[in-house]
Amino acid sequence: MKWRSVFIFLALLVLMSCKKDKLKGDKEIFIGTWNWLYTGATLSNCDGMPYNTELNPITESCEYSISFEKRGKVFFYKNENLTSDRRIVFKAFGKDYYSCGGDYIGFEIKLDNYDGTDIKNIIGGCINSDTLIIHNGFPYYNDGCNFYLNYFKKN
């Protein structure tokens, strides 16, 4: 019985020690579901002339959405199916970040408090009350030759 209590205590300690930022104050702007509208893409094979195109739910035959919860979790969906859920840790948040301009606020989020260079673990961009622009991240990721701006609208 004593070991069981120790195990439960340690399990709770581990669960509570996972760092995440709750969405409070100005960061509450993220809370809700964001549906993918389109992605502006500059595509290249790295040795040719780049060209601009637009990817959208019709051209790609799929839909994406992101859902942020106040408790500091984000959920990623493709065709209404959950693809992953992650913890949110802000690296940066503010008007001057990413040179967003207008009424946008710039941000960079480390997913699950990731502290490396894999761009799939970081999302950054600009947000206002009804538009989310992801410069780096879901659903299309920059790879050195191809660059994407992903646009979402709040549901």
Note whether residue 11 is domain-resident.
Answer: no
pLDDT value at residue 23: 96
**The two structure tokens encoding residue 131:** 């538009």
pLDDT value at residue 95: 84
pLDDT value at residue 73: 97
Tell me the C-alpha distance between 80 and 123, whole Å: 20
pLDDT tens for the chain, 155 residues: list them.
566 654 554 444 444 446 678 999 999 999 999 999 999 999 998 887 899 999 999 999 999 999 999 999 999 999 999 999 999 999 999 987 777 888 999 999 999 988 777 778 999 999 999 999 999 789 999 888 999 999 999 99
User: Which residues form the domain of 147?
Assistant: 21-154
Q: CA 68 → CA 43, 51, 88, 112, distances in Å?
A: 29, 33, 9, 14
pLDDT value at residue 114: 83
State how many domains the chain has.
Answer: 1
Q: Is the peptide bond before 57 cis (omega within 30 degrees of 0)?
A: no
pLDDT value at residue 97: 79
pLDDT value at residue 15: 46
Note whether residue 113 is domain-resident.
Answer: yes
Note whether residue 3 is domain-resident.
Answer: no
Note whether residue 124 is domain-resident.
Answer: yes
Note whether residue 14 is domain-resident.
Answer: no
Note whether residue 63 is domain-resident.
Answer: yes
Backbone φ and ψ of 136, nearest 5°: -140, 105
